[in-house]
Amino acid sequence: MTWVAAVPAILTAMVLAVGPGLIALAPLPLGLLGRVAVAGPVGVCVTGVAAAIFGAAGLPFHAWQVLPVALAALGVAFAVRRRLPRLDHPVGRGAWAMVAAWALSLAAAACVAFWGVPDPDRISQTYDNVFHLSATAAILDGFSASPLTLRSLIETDGAGLIDYYPAAWHELAAMTAQISGASVPVAFNAVWLAVLGLVWLPGIAWLTRVLTRGWISPIVAMPLGVSLGWYPYGLLTWGTIYPTWFAHALLPAAVAVTVLGVRAVTAAPAGERLRAGLIAGAGHVATLGAIGLAHPRVLPTWLVIVVPLVLWRLGSAFAAAWREGGATRRRAVVWLSAGSAALLLAALAAFAYAVVGLGLFDEPLENRLSGPQAQAVQTLWDGIWQVVMLRAMTGVDGMVTLIAPLLALAVIAGIVVALRRPAARWIVVSYALLAVLYVLAAGSDDVVTKLATGVWYKDRFRLAAALPVLAVPLATMGILAVARRVMPARGRAALRAGSSRAVGAIAIAGSAVIALTSTTTLAATGVTESVASVFHQPDAGAQWQVVSTQQIAFQRDVVAAEVPADQRVLGDPWDGSALTQLFAGREPVFPHVNGQWDLARQELAWRLAEIETNPAVCAALDELRVRHVLYNPHEFGGGDPAGNHFPGPHAAVEAGLFTPVATDGESVLYRIDQCGPLD
């Protein structure tokens, strides 16, 4: 399939990404930009609720199930619309320029990301993506898409009370495949582009407008939103962590809702404060709920960003109350004491959960968080230089993009502007906090760093992905400030009067130049090459990759024909057999390379070679309805660094215990005859 042929799938994904949210928000007084920015998070919530409800009813997931939930949300919106103030300003002047900036930005990002990927059928050949592909294929074959049960695919031992797993990505990809008829790999790439275009770009443009309050700012921000290597590209080349990537796309809208909510509550008269708080609370339920459904580990990132804002606003309010004196001062002291006590209790509860629930002290802290994603790979000074000059690690062969000097200068100028505005200083503080966490995660393995970054798995890429959420608004502030400076005095006066189109033209042109140079640098110095490497699919003989083209064809043509539809396929998931449901429509015994497996699966993983002497092996094969083994002797990515946890299939095949059914010289399908036919 060509990329042009994937356009219907991309358009389908775009409709599904914001369509449910637009239905739910239809009656509410929102401008175009704010409406689209909030539609993404609301759509995620609508889809997640639909998946949970119909999953609990035992019904397979399908896209139509989203409609009744969206209509129910629409009814609620109609009921409350008259009680709401205008929640956002219309785009007004510059609407067409913003649409043009959006289209060009999306096209630029698509080229940077996928220029080296020859067709949209390619998959990211990475550890995390094995499960994401398997889960989506399982949903399409009738498995529940509910986030409350999705984890049970890889935790079959039933030990957990709730098998929660963030399912927003898988639901959107499954719906895209259902409606467009595209394969799951095509749907994944279509959803990536759709979320980038209709969740991330409107979200970051809306946040920038909220922080700068000008019609020019979202137009300037759009191209900058695709100009940083940390996001949207970093989590595509590292992981590939699609759910976390999705959650970061939702983050700007969540931050914007917080900023607007804090402003509304603190500025409202006493009699209107409750209503303002309820409206802000509803917005947070939608945006933070969406992040939780996409990936809850991004919620702490939101917290790091907004805490400086909240503390600044609360501090300002307390200072004003203290100056007023009397009863106002006493009430402020009471509220401050109560709030401090609540924060202390929350901190103690979080610490208790870390100790009891996560086993914080079960082993020495220095022995924790030592996997590839958590290891320090550079010095602290390297990380500082990367933050200042906007260099991005790709996670492939140690590649780091070259500096982006124009964009870096724009961010620095924005920091200067923000520091000169008391109401904007919190942005610099939040950006500095994120930068410090990233620098520590990438450059230090000490205990303090592990405690500070552990909630993000000490993953430098997850932390780096948050930096553009504030870097883009800061760069926009810097560009606008420079544009004002280069105007003659009469032009600056016109700007203050609100009628200067010349400043807008200068700022937009500056943003375009910066975006062009930055995206070209990203494409030429690592990002495009890294994506191509991650998506590389050899014709045959996969070693580092999960599967080859020949391996996929064998599963599609041979495994699908030889294995009955009601049977599972056994194999070592590290050799690509985890993807039989994706390519052959046959459920694998092990849909991922890691999991909490039931006793039957453990029997096959470890003791399959005992089939002729151990009755428990045949009992496990019967229980799981298995009579075939798929074997391709390689382990992608160099195999499990913790050692081979699936030695059973290897030992049994190498001992010649099974009957070969078919082979292409690389993959072999074996039949298990020792246990007799299945009922």
Higher pLDDT, 328 or 435: 435
Cα angle 15, 16, 17 (rounded to 5 degrees) comes to 95
The CA distance from 350 to 196, in Å, is 33
pLDDT of residue 539: 95
Q: Tell me the residue type at 152.
A: S
User: Model's pTM, two decimal places?
Assistant: 0.95
State the average pLDDT for the chain.
Answer: 92
Distances (CA, A) of 384 to 232, 434, 437, 535: 20, 12, 11, 30
Q: What tokens appear for 285 in the block?
A: 């339920």
Q: Is the pLDDT of residue 345 over 90?
A: no
CB 205 within 8 A of CB 43: no
For tokens 């137009």, name the residue: 219
pLDDT of residue 272: 79
CB 91 within 8 A of CB 217: no
Distances (CA, A) of 331 to 51, 326, 337, 338, 509: 45, 9, 10, 11, 51
Question: Tens digit of pLDDT for each residue in 258-283?
Answer: 999 998 888 878 777 788 888 889 99
Q: Is the pLDDT of residue 73 over 90?
A: yes
CB 253 within 8 A of CB 411: no
Report the range of poorest mean pLDDT among 180-189, 334-343, 348-357. Answer: 348-357
User: pLDDT band for position 500 (50/70/90)?
Assistant: low
Q: Is the pLDDT of residue 456 over 80?
A: yes
Q: Where are the domains of the chain?
A: 4-304, 367-529, 549-671
The DSSP annotation for 292-353 comes to: HHH-GGGHHHHHHHHHHHHHHHHHHHHHHHHHH-HHHHHHHHHHHHHHHHHHHHHHHHHHHH
Question: Tens digit of pLDDT for each residue in 290-334?
Answer: 999 999 999 999 999 999 998 998 888 778 777 878 877 887 788
Q: Is the pLDDT of residue 478 over 50?
A: yes
CB 239 within 8 A of CB 131: no
Across the range 390-398, mean pLDDT stands at 93
Q: Is the pLDDT of residue 356 over 80?
A: no
CB 670 within 8 A of CB 631: yes
Question: Tens digit of pLDDT for each residue in 625-674?
Answer: 999 999 998 999 888 877 789 999 999 999 999 999 999 999 999 999 99
Q: Is the pLDDT of residue 358 over 70?
A: no
The CA distance from 285 to 49, in Å, is 13
User: CB 68: neighbour CB atoms within 10 A?
Assistant: 13
User: CB 491: neighbour CB atoms within 10 A?
Assistant: 16
pLDDT of residue 331: 77
- Provide φ and ψ at 181, rounded to 5°: 80, 5
Question: Tens digit of pLDDT for each residue in 533-563?
Answer: 999 999 999 999 999 999 999 999 999 999 9
The CA distance from 571 to 650, in Å, is 8
